[in-house]
Structure 1
Amino acid sequence: MGFTVGQVSAWAKVTVRTLHHYDRAGLLSPSHRSAAGYRWYDESDLARLQQILFYRALDFTLEDIAKILADPDANALGHLRARQRRLLEEIERLQRLTVVAERAIEVQQTGITLTPKERFEVFGDITFDLSYATDAQLKWGNSPSHQEAMSRAAAHTKEDWEQLMAEASAWRAELLVAFEDGEPPDGQRAMDVAEAHRLHVTRWFTPCPPDMHGRLADDFCADRRAFALVVPAAQQRPGLAEYLALAMHANASRHVSNSGK
């Protein structure tokens, strides 16, 4: 007594047609048949099927699987390592394609009116997280400040973006030096760095009063995708987002104090 093709199909979550194909290919032939010619699988057949499905999940061809299972002395580890290398290469290729796709869709999401060549020249390795752009649109799309920022971004020329990115790069250098020098986030130097960022946003995108800048600070801590827009992942340091947020809040408080004098 064994297991019918229907039972094996249900347990293994493969179609009956697949099991018949494995049988015809000589990869998994049931050990028994009933008097009426029906296939009956035993425990050893199920164990072999598990091996086949494991290799199939790793995208081995049926021919390769047959070779591995046919030779009890086959170096399965060697096959797995070779497959791992190919999968890592494929992952890398797909990641490159993802970046290209993101940059193409980015035009629609951000309104940046640059050619693909110009975008690569201006932004280099800096990429924009589309999921964050979409979330931001859903969250703030109806706010006048967000609409103005999108409109002004769309109007920037290549020369504008080059100047903007150069300013942003210089600002990041100042931030990193202050952070690595151990400057207190509520100290003059750190607050001046925060103020430079606030003025940068105002100059290039939308007026950014201190209270709005404080909300941006909270977003930098709550969502790393937001922080990556001002400090790319390659330049980030542990605690840097929190440091900048504290400096931004301290700078906002400084404005309140100064306005009361």
Structure 2
Amino acid sequence: MPDTWDAGAWDAEGLTVGRVSARLGVTVRALHHWDEIGLARPSLRTSAGYRLYTAGDLDRVHRVVVYRELGLGLDRIQAILDDPDADVPGALRAQRAQVDERIERLQRLGAGLDRMIEAHERGPLLTGEQQTAIFGPGWNPDWPAQARRRYGDTPQWLQFAERAAARDPGEWQAVADAVTEFERSLADAMDAGVTPGTPEANHLVERHRELFASYFPLTRQMQVCLGRRFEADPAFAAHYDGIRPGLATWFRHAVDASARAHDIDPDTATWQ
């Protein structure tokens, strides 16, 4: 907000637009605009037609600047300045209420940004105890940090972080329950002798892609790469084979068969 101008230093012949701009910190363009709309017009002109502001003009410009700094629109400012009966305190209270609303919105935005930053840095916004309670005793709370170190610069990690930032413990529990139910369905299908490539097996492959969207979108080629890893990685293989011996290999075959049905060669599929 500009300092109060010194009326005692007034030039009796008036001030030019440039001098008013420098004195009050207002752009010449703004002063011209206010003149055009009748908000703050200079009262005098030189013989050459240049605008000159009187002391009264400068006082009005100063009030415009003050009210604008408080966030009032130009129409509202003009109504206040031109109406001697204007309820100025009421207008300022209304503006204060709007400022309070903006502050509240910005605080919510700040909290959301904090969650997003934290999710990008560490994944699920859960304590170690919460992770174990939700994902089971076999879960290692260090896994998200390990995943970030390995995949933190990939688009999939960014997508995962965006979902993680918006998810509370109850929502994570729902995801974990859905995964458990799905893995039970895989085991039941293998026990029932379902053959990879059949409609029932393909349906399970599609369910896996839909379920994985809780973390990030999974293309069919990416799913093939995951199927390979589920079988080859000791930790993943132990998890699936702990549900049913041979489940990791059965599921990889099911994913590969589904991929072939969509003209994807599992032997050449890449993470894309």
TM-score, normalised with respect to structure 1: 0.48
**TM-score, normalised relative to structure 2:** 0.47
**Which protein is bigger by CA-based radius of gyration?**
2
Q: Which has the higher helix share?
A: 1
